[in-house]
Amino acid sequence: MPGSIGFYGSIVDGTTTKYGFFTAAHVVLSNSTVKIDWFTSVGKTIKWQLANNGEADVAFVEMTGYGHSFSNKVEGIQLRSNVFVIPALNSTVYFVGNHAKNVPGTVEDNNMDSYIHFQITGQYYHLFSLINVSGLGCVGGDSGGLLYTKSGNTASVCGILTGGTGSSDDFTKASKIPWGAKVL
């Protein structure tokens, strides 16, 4: 998988609850097997949304590989179940991805419009209602990683990395993830 895992959660698919993880749609193909390395399959992309003039760059991977799991802990703190937060302007948020680990940043905008080029499709997409954060220094491979807030022993999901420049990064709001998404 050329990106990062956002967070473990569930969706409702018809009348069935499915369990897996959320990541950026631009790092996995729709309806494809997802591998964590060249050989190890962890699941299949069963929901995928990346639309021009849309609010979400998100995919849900149902975990089907045996022996693979992960906790929703950041810095030893369990993420709050079923809670999505939109951070306030100028507040401190944190990011964890393949390269960046629990890095603090500052919310510059929590309703950002952006045009982002995705290599997987070779197209530019106009995405809106994004969270823009400075100071994280995200790089290739961090896409799909988790943006969160923390206060004492409480951490809450804000979004997943959609794209950026390294000095300023854009995140899909977790509250915009469809399919009855929940944090577990």
Question: Can you identify the CATH homologous superfamily of domain 73-173?
Answer: Trypsin-like serine proteases (2.40.10.10)
Confidence of residue 121 (pLDDT cuts 50, 70, 90): confident
Distance CA 96, CA 114 (A): 22
**CB atoms inside a 10 Å sphere around CB 164:** 22
Res 2: pLDDT: 57
For residue 11, the one-letter residue type is I
| Average confidence (pLDDT) over 144-155 | 93
Give the amino acid at 154.
T
**Per-residue model confidence as pLDDT tens digits over 53-78:** 788 899 999 988 666 677 788 888 99
Q: How far apart are CA 141 and CA 111, in angstroms?
A: 24
Chain length of the chain: 184
Mean pLDDT over 119-131 rounds to 82
Q: Domain residue spans in the chain?
A: 7-70, 73-173
More confident residue, 38 or 153: 153
Please give the DSSP secondary-structure letter assigned to residue 139. -
- Which pTM value belongs to this model? 0.92
DSSP class of residue 15 equals: T
| pLDDT for 66 | 67
Tokens (6 digits) for 14: 């018809």
Neighbour count for residue 109 (Cβ, 10 Å):
15
Res 4 pLDDT > 70 = yes
Per residue in 165-182, pLDDT (tens digit) is 768 999 999 999 999 999
